[in-house]
Amino acid sequence: MITLHHLNNSRSQRIIWLLEELAVDYEIVQHQRDRKTQLAPASLRAIHPLGKSPVIVDNSNQVVLAESGAIIEYLIQNYGDSQWQKSPSQADYWDYIFWLHFSEGSVMPPLVMRLVMKGVSTAPMPFFAKPIARSISSKVLAQYVQPTIGKNLAFIENHLKQRQWFTHERISGADIQMSFPLEAGVKSGLIDERFPAISAFVERCHARPAYQRALTRGGEYAYA
């Protein structure tokens, strides 16, 4: 039995989706964000020192594991069939590894920084500090964050123009991993009519029966 420690409106929703795709027997322990800070609650630190979600506990193997990419690889290697598992001998193996890591290594950091910088510009502060904070925030957004996001999205769009899924005509763990930042991009308006292939990918993810079952199991999720 897999136990998933799940946080609302978080990356852990894609782990529920994968568990549904793999038809693994699992249970969910729900954790709720603090309504004021939107941070994860202290209850998650009792499960893993990082205090973040997702975390899985696999009692059959005595495994406690954090980090979405590591969890996806673990679940696929231990519970996936030939559709999901990638071998180094396969032509698309390194593409699979690339996209599995590109999601959190390159796509998510500027998206998170964008949220932080926008929060800085609107945060309560002494009136004399506001112009300085807003100036710094706008420069970071204009000179680094937005160009980086644009470059990443253009790269992804060009890749998806040529295929339905990231590494094959069939869905893989790379698609599960890439789904969250692209869902967030659609929801925030960053991904619009300029990126039809990305939008179509997100729609394909949302249309899968396992994805719909995951929404029912997971509860509140703002990006679907």
Q: Which of 168, 149, 169, 147 is nearest to 157 (CA)?
A: 149
- pLDDT range class, residue 40, cuts 50, 70, 90: confident
- Quote the tokens at residue 197: 């292939």
For the domain 93-208, what is the CATH code? 1.20.1050.10
Please state the domain extents for the chain.
2-86+213-218, 93-208
- Quote the tokens at residue 157: 């769009």
Handedness of CA 211, 223, 155, 116 (dihedral sign): negative
Q: In this model, does residue 77 exceed pLDDT 90? A: yes
Q: Give one DSSP letter per residue of 102-159, joined into a string.
A: HIIIIIHHHHHHHHHHHHHHHS---TTTHHHHHHHHHHHIIIIIHHHHHHHHHHHHHH
**What is the pTM assigned to this prediction?**
0.90
Rg of the chain over CA atoms, in angstroms?
18
Options 3.40.640.10, 3.10.20.30, 3.40.30.10, 3.40.50.460; CATH of 2-86+213-218: 3.40.30.10
- Which of 44-58, 106-120, 121-135, 153-167 has the lowest average pLDDT? 121-135
Burial of 10 (0-12, 13-18, 19+ CB in 10 A): buried
Which three-class secondary structure string do you get for 82-112? CCCCCCCCCCCHHHHHHHHHHHHHHHHHHHH
Summarize the confidence of residues 123-136 as an average pLDDT: 65
Give residue 42's pLDDT: 85
Q: In this model, does residue 220 exceed pLDDT 70? A: yes
How many residues make up the chain in this entry?
224
Percent of the chain residues topping a pLDDT of 70: 93
Q: Which of 1, 143, 220, 177 is nearest to 73 (CA)?
A: 177
Give residue 129's pLDDT: 58
Q: What is the DSSP letter of 223?
A: T
Which residues pair with residue 3 across a beta bridge?
27, 57
